[in-house]
Chain A
Amino acid sequence: MLVKLYDFMIRKHPEILTICFVAISLLFLSRTENHVILSLQTKWQDVTTFVKKPILEQRRKQKVMEENKALRMEVFRLKQEIAGTKSLRNENDRLRDMLGYRDTSRYEIIPALIIYKGFKEGSNIIMLDKGRDHHVGKNDVIVYKDGLVGRILACGQHTCMASMIVEPDIRVSVRIDPARVYGILKWHHGNTFIIDDIPTSVEVKPGQTVTTSGFSEIYPADIPVGRITGVTSSENGFTYIIEGNYFVEFNKLREVFILRENGN
């Protein structure tokens, strides 16, 4: 009996191996955030950063020089505006002191360079050049100047891996302004999102902005997310399905900012 079984296994070993490997692969597919894999990936990025970073820095320098030129013009324009707002700020500070307000900024902003943007286009994983050395931790929020980008998944010593919000599994609790209605945002396709189950009793129009609600344990309130482009009624007629575009152009990102809670 055992000899027959042995013969069978020898004869059919390609099929047996294939079935085993397919089963293991399917197991991986069913577990989206495997901590062992995450840790392996971040450690690997730590190792390769020293090669990638100089090349990326060079590219960044070129871009920065171009931006610098445009920014100088912008600075001149803004200086004029600042002069006008300075007096308003002084007045505001004085009034805040009178009302007993304190500084409510809870986050430190850490600029980070994207050192890896996924194997293929449309990937939602990015690697950043900041890690535990810079006190970056899991679930720290990533933003860009335009709005919300995602969150940190895992951290190595010098790098970290982050997930962007353009992923089918990710939901973000959001608020639509100025209607001040709350909903759950999910990625639709490309650079678009949808928010469904918004009651038709609320007035929601294209052009309104979507920001984080602050109800989430991860994302703080008031981070811009996107703008509404279309509002359609659902089949039951009681709710709206809202479509919109993200503010951030995810496929053009080169650097981001990590929001680190500073414990104030």
Chain B
Amino acid sequence: MGTRTENFRLSYIVLSLLFVLSIILNNFIGIAGIHPDILLILLFYLAAREKPYIVLVAAFAFGFLQDIFLPGNIQYWGLSPLFKTLLAYALLKLRPFILRLKGFTHFAVVFGMMFLYFVFYDLLYYSGYISPVAVLYRYAFPETAYTFLLFTAFQCIFPLGKKDKGL
């Protein structure tokens, strides 16, 4: 068994490798056009463990990486760093509250935070493409579910420690 810091590092390395794989194999991991956001999972891990400035810089960098390596629409370059930074800030502000949660409520809050992120992101990303209601059930909810599923699976392998549980 490695130390706590070693486990943290290992989980970050694994998530980073997963992200690189997801970039390269983006066309093949999609289910009906829905793709998971691996960097969002990494951001949740960082938000639970690291200092605020690291979380915020990482959030912005992740968004930037996503826009560089997984471009979508030209006019929305910058959307990903914007929402990832805002989410990171919200996670940092809510950290003391979320740390007190246990079991189902903890997972419900994580799901809710992910869902909010995808709702705002997708509403802007698909504005003019499909109706806002359709964005919710066609993209925001499935993307949240896919990402949350991976987050939960990843938690089974690299559980967040007792100290930082809740995110």
Q: Which residues of A contact B (CB under 8 A)?
A: 13-15, 17-18, 21-22, 24-34, 37, 40-41, 44, 48, 51-52, 55-56, 116-125, 153, 161, 163, 167-169, 189-190
Contacts and interface: CB of A to CB of B under 8 A. Distances in A.
A40 B68 CA distance: 7
Contacts of B33: 120-121
A169 B75 contact: yes
Contacts of A33: 74
Give the interface SS of chain B, mostly helix, strand, loop or mixed: helix
Given A14-B53, A14-B56, A122-B73, 9 more contacts: A18-B85, A28-B77, A44-B69, A52-B24, A117-B27, A119-B35, A120-B139, A124-B74, A189-B128
A213 B60 CA distance: 43
Contacts of A55: 25, 28
Most buried by B among A28, A44, A163, A169: A28
B27 A52 contact: yes
Given A14-B52, A27-B78, A28-B78, A22 B86 contact: yes
Contact of B92 (A14, A24, A32): A14
Interface in B35-54: 35, 52-53
Contacts of A163: 74
Contact of B78 (A26, A122, A153, A189): A26
Contacts of B74: 32-33, 124-125, 153, 163, 167, 169
A40 B130 CA distance: 30
Contacts of B89: 14-15, 18
B98 interface: no
A116 B27 contact: yes
Interface of B: 23-28, 33-35, 52-53, 56-57, 59-60, 63, 66-79, 81-82, 85-86, 88-89, 92, 122, 125-126, 128-130, 139
Given A18-B89, A52-B27, A125-B72, A34 B77 contact: yes
A167 B75 contact: yes
A32 B69 CA distance: 16
A66 to B, nearest CB: 19
B72 A17 contact: no
B69 A25 contact: no
Nearest to B78: A28
A41 to B, nearest CB: 6
B67 A28 contact: yes
